[in-house]
Amino acid sequence: MDNFEFLRNVTIGQYFAGHSVIHRLDPRAKITLVMMLVIANGFLFSYSGNLILLTICCAAVLTSGISFRFMLSGIKPALPFIAFLAVMQLFFSGRSYRPFGAPLQIYWEWGVLAVSNGSLELVIITFMRFLEIFLLVSLLTGTTTITDLTYAIEDMLRPFQRLGVPAYEISLIGTLALRFVPIFAEQLEIIMKAQAARGADFAGWGPFQFVKITRQLARLIVPLFVDAFRRAEDLILAMEARCYTGGRGRTHLARFRMTRLDRALLAVMAAFVVTLLYFRNQLWF
Amino acid sequence: MERVIIRAQDVYYSYEPGAAQPAWALNGIDLEVYAGEYLAIVGHNGSGKSTLARHFNALLTPSRGEVWVNGLNTRDARHRLAIRSTVGMVFQVPDNQIVATLVEEDVAFGPANLGVPADELKRRVDWALQVVGMQKFRRQAPHLLSAGQKQRVAIAGAIALQPQVLVLDESTSMLDPAGQEEVLDAVRRLNQAGTTIIAITHFMHEAVKADRVLVLENGRIAMQGSPRQVFSQRDRLRELQLDAPPMADLAARLHARQPSFPPDLLTVEEMALEISRRVGRRREAGG
Amino acid sequence: MDERQRLFAQVNDLHHTYLRGTPLETVALRGVSMQIRTGEAVGIIGRTGAGKSTLIQHFNGLLRPRQPGRVIIEGQDMSDPTLDVRALRQRVGLVFQRPEQQLFERLVGDDIAFGLKQLGLPADERRARVRWAMELVGLDFDRFRNRFTFSLSGGEMRRVALAGVLALRPRVLILDEATSGIDPRGRRELLTHIAEWRQQSEVTLIIVSTNMDEIAELVERIYVLDDGRVVLCGTPRQLFADPVVLRQYGLKVPQVSALVHRLSELGVTMPRVPITIAEAADDVWTILNS
């Protein structure tokens, strides 16, 4: 806390610049591809199904040129929870989880606990599915800037405006959050430093100093909120001065263009996922 | 005679109109802004400068009195978009005006709101960025820019609507000298190309370069005229708690000691030339 | 008094990097060295991004020096981890930019008393100091102490923030661009209060600014920072003699000083570099009548 550097922790979905095929895909295509794979992930419970998906994810990561190690380092903080969940699943789902395409075989039991090929499969499949989602999302944010993602989502939601979906407003919320989170982080730093300069003690925020931390937080939140409201007022004026009247009727700069590669990939992936899901119960193991 | 582009008639404004004793931020303003001029509005904080500025683009409407922009009354909500496309505004805090996470998207914000088609949009963004000298930064994220650069982006965003008037509400007060120069250069270029500029400022070095200066005090116009006319009245300015620009102050002091010395010099260049001329004459006379 | 105590601050080869080790790493200071004597009034100027704020945050321990840089404040080495930073901050007051945006208590009196509470002063002592500080900044104690902080005008809030630092009775006051964004009247009032306070007590004053005019009259010595380094140092009169060099660093000299430079280009030599309009009037008068 004594370091005061909050911007250090503001790395949402770390982006790695590059020129790979994946980087150059239309962001809207990328989002759609990821969505398709996530849907597939939701319905596949077999080893073979997940092996196929995992292979696709790993191949994509390799193509992007982003180091596996960087990507996987993001899992580290979650490992304790994953391990805990795995242990719970292993011992408590022995009797309830039916393994895919094979009869239930209990290896060990003791009262309520039971380890079986079912619970083992559950642990492994859960981990594989988690890994797939993790890789897909990291790949998406790793090869697409948040700005591009925001505009892509706006683009994709725009056709639904006719049905009352406020596409632009949603996108605006995202953009403003992105713009102002670093600004507020900086502002918070200044506020903390100003109070520290008057003798406030921010060092030693131990785990049990609830009262102290709460009181200090209150003193930080007030000026931060005042600042936020002031900025909001300014922003509203500026937007009105530039004729903002909501998302209806707005045009936009042409930002993305789908290439043949994008369309081809989308078609191939769609066909593949449909086939995979259709035959998911006929897979070998 | 020049065309009047904005007219304010007997304008009063209070932020609390319902109060028993409303405090008047604007206390009877009569004003005409001429097309193509560079008008500076000065006054200390609380004199009503910003309040007046916001009447020019219908962000505020008068409690009493009328304001017309190109003949359109600002009270009429139907004219609002037309008025705001005619009168653009740039505010004081650079960060609090920039909406998008990419420079070119922010510049496009205004015309996009009006439904300008995509190819025209791109053309306007290109043009606006070129006028302010920020084309290199079109794909940059705004938070990586300096304050002066951010203000230039804000100006580009305002002129993308192709307004006839640009109001700058203390747009240089948070910039360092280099940033101020960047912004003022861009504004001058716009004025030379025909855009009417209304600069709300408390910097005298900006106001001396204007065509006309208005001094506000307590919501009223206390002084009005060319920079030379206004700033040579040192005593009146002091009553209004304003500083005369340094050279005007110096000229006034020298004039007090020697009546033949012109009391209405404004710039370092004018002062230097006047002094060197007099020294030259003395040298010739003295031998 | 020994040599160490005659110096408020001694800075040797100070470096500072923000967000070291991340992709957003920026170097703010590249080897700054300077000395500030007790009781001096020093100006630190430079364009935005030159490193001014970073530098002064080392003077009250908000930032600590990294090897090989050394910072000695009031004889204490700032890299010493056992240093009592909070005691230091009572003696070295720092007012940030836009201090009115950092108020947080509901009542004016409480906000000003914040630092005093942190020091553990008893209630009557606190009240006395708050009264003293408020009077110093021109806020009537009885009228303002129970006002809501956020109901005040911008100028009043700024004075409350300043009072909050002055109440600690620091021996050193550092103003970090404290006048940015204020109108000339407000600025003049603020600087008058500062000058008054400085007359009352023998204090060290450090003013950080991008504006030459305002500090010209208040400080004895100026350090010019650019790109994390000290590039110029001297009295106002010495520095204002060369507007061309200062322009290179994104700074402007007061107009009266620029006048001298322009006159010398036209062949007229002035006796000295004036830093106030009064001085300029006297000098020009002399020239015109010699």
Residue A1 lies in a domain: no
Query: Among all chains, which residue has been given the structure tokens 């948040």?
Result: A146
Task: Give the tens place of pLDDT for each residue, B102-144.
Answer: 999 999 999 999 999 999 999 999 999 999 999 999 998 898 8
pLDDT at C107: 93
Regarding predicted confidence, which is higher, B33 or A117? B33
pLDDT at A206 over 80: no
Q: Which residues of A260-280 are buried (b: 16+ CB within 10 A; e: fewer)?
A: eebeebbeebeeebeebeeeb
A185 touches chain C (CB under 8 A): no
Residue C261 lies in a domain: no
Q: Are residues A213 and A110 in the same domain?
A: no
Question: Are A12 and B101 a contacting pair, CB within 8 Å?
Answer: no
pLDDT at B78: 95
Mean pLDDT of chain C: 89
Nearest beta carbon to residue C210 from set B177, B272, B273: B177
- Kindly state the percentage of chain B with pLDDT values over 90: 82
**Contact at CB, C185 and B174, closer than 8 angstroms:** no
B250 touches chain C (CB under 8 A): yes
Q: What is the CATH number of the domain that holds C117?
A: 3.40.50.300
Mapped onto helix, strand or coil, the DSSP state of residue B151 is helix
The per-residue DSSP string of B203-237 comes to -HHHHTTSSEEEEEETTEEEEEE-HHHHHT-HHHH
Task: Give the tens place of pLDDT for each residue, C135-189.
Answer: 888 899 999 989 999 889 888 898 899 999 999 999 999 999 888 778 888 888 8
Which residues in C have their CB inside 8 Å of a CB on B? 47-49, 153-155, 180-186, 210-211, 250-252, 254-256, 258-259, 262-263, 265-268, 277-278, 280-281, 284-285, 287-288
pLDDT at B11 over 90: yes
pTM reported for the whole predicted model:
0.88
Task: Give the tens place of pLDDT for each residue, C109-140.
Answer: 999 999 999 888 999 999 999 999 998 888 99
Q: Are residues A127 and A265 in the same domain?
A: yes
Which domains does chain B possess?
Answer: 4-244 (3.40.50.300)
Question: Are C118 and C126 a contacting pair, CB within 8 Å?
Answer: no
pLDDT at A2 over 80: no
Task: Give the tens place of pLDDT for each residue, A71-109.
Answer: 787 788 888 899 999 999 999 888 888 888 788 888 888
Q: State the smallest CA–CA distance between residue C260 and chain B in angstroms.
A: 8
Return the H-helix or E-strand segment holding B247. Answer: helix B246-257
Residue C172 lies in a domain: yes
Q: Are residues A23 and A133 in the same domain?
A: yes
CA angle at residue B191 from B236 to B153, to 5 degrees?
105
Regarding predicted confidence, which is higher, B101 or A212? B101
Residue A5 lies in a domain: no
Contacts of B99 in chain A (CB under 8 A): 172, 175-176, 179, 235, 238-239
Return the H-helix or E-strand segment holding B73. Answer: strand B72-73
- A146 to chain B: closest CA residue: B101
Query: Which span out of A174-178, A218-222, B194-198, B203-207 was modeled with the highest average pLDDT?
Result: B194-198
- A10 to chain C: closest CA residue: C24
Task: Give the tens place of pLDDT for each residue, C226-247.
Answer: 999 999 999 999 999 888 999 9
pLDDT at C168: 93
pLDDT at B96: 96
**Contact at CB, B161 and A231, closer than 8 angstroms:** no
Residue A10 lies in a domain: no
Mean pLDDT of chain B: 93
Contacts of B116 in chain A (CB under 8 A): 251
- Kindly state the percentage of chain A with pLDDT values over 90: 44
Picking from C79, C86, C62, the residue whose alpha carbon sits closest to that of residue C11 is C79
A-B contacts (CB, under 8 Å): 95
Q: Are residues A126 and A242 in the same domain?
A: no
pLDDT at A10 over 70: no
Please report all neighbours of B, defined by 3+ CB atom pairs within 8 A.
Answer: A, C
Contacts of A172 in chain B (CB under 8 A): 99
> Domain span at residue C240?
3-253
Nearest beta carbon to residue A240 from set B59, B96, B118: B59
Q: Are residues A120 and A259 in the same domain?
A: yes
pLDDT at C281: 93
Contacts of A235 in chain B (CB under 8 A): 96-97, 99
Residue A8 lies in a domain: no
> Domain span at residue A275?
16-164+252-285
Task: Give the tens place of pLDDT for each residue, A137-162.
Answer: 889 988 998 889 989 999 999 888 88
ipTM for the assembly: 0.91
Q: How many residues does chain A have?
A: 285
pLDDT at A12: 41
Task: Give the tens place of pLDDT for each residue, B240-249.
Answer: 888 889 999 9
**Contact at CB, C268 and B276, closer than 8 angstroms:** yes
Picking from A184, A173, A223, the residue whose alpha carbon sits closest to that of residue A200 is A223
What is the tally of structural domains in chain C?
A: 1
Q: Are residues A82 and A94 in the same domain?
A: yes
Mean pLDDT of chain A: 87
pLDDT at A8: 45
Q: Which amino acid is at A164?
A: G
Mapped onto helix, strand or coil, the DSSP state of residue C72 is strand
pLDDT at C123: 92
Q: How confident is the model at residue C2 (pLDDT cuts 50, 70, 90)?
A: low
What is the tally of structural domains in chain A?
A: 2
Residue C147 lies in a domain: yes
- A181 to chain B: closest CA residue: B143
The first and second tokens of residue A202, run together, are 């921010």
Q: How confident is the model at residue B203 (pLDDT cuts 50, 70, 90)?
A: confident
B179 touches chain C (CB under 8 A): yes
Q: Which amino acid is at C219?
A: V
Contacts of C185 in chain B (CB under 8 A): 44-45, 241-242
pLDDT at C59: 94
Q: Are residues A259 and A153 in the same domain?
A: yes
pLDDT at A11 over 50: no
Q: Are residues A281 and A159 in the same domain?
A: yes
Q: Are residues A157 and A239 in the same domain?
A: no
